[in-house]
Amino acid sequence: MVVESLWHNLKHRHLHEFNHPQLDLVTHIISSDILPWVQKMLEYVQGLRQVGWLKELAGWKTDFCADWMDMAHSDEHRLVEKELKWLKAPKKTKGRNE
């Protein structure tokens, strides 16, 4: 029944405009449209993800956002933060004289 439902869904939602679709088209639709939807539903059923939750950002996106927020500050602001960091550091910290 699950397979019949999947094929019914595929035929009536994605392939309704094609009389005899080629195999590469069907494969593309399954891999690009249906499999991500099935994966999302499995995560929802297993409790790994809920509707409305944000996905975690990739590592490079997190670094990019941090750099973006840092560059959003003016140069003066960054210099003041750097000076405060060195002023709060212990006196025996290497490079504090700079």
pTM beyond 0.75, yes or no: no
31 three-class SS? helix
Write down the domain spans for the chain.
2-46, 59-88
In this predicted model, what pLDDT tens digit does every residue of 21-59 receive, in sequence order?
889 988 998 899 888 888 888 888 887 766 676 777 788
Residue with tokens 């590469």: 24
Distance of alpha carbon 98 from alpha carbon 95, whole angstroms: 6
pLDDT at residue 14 is higher than 80? yes
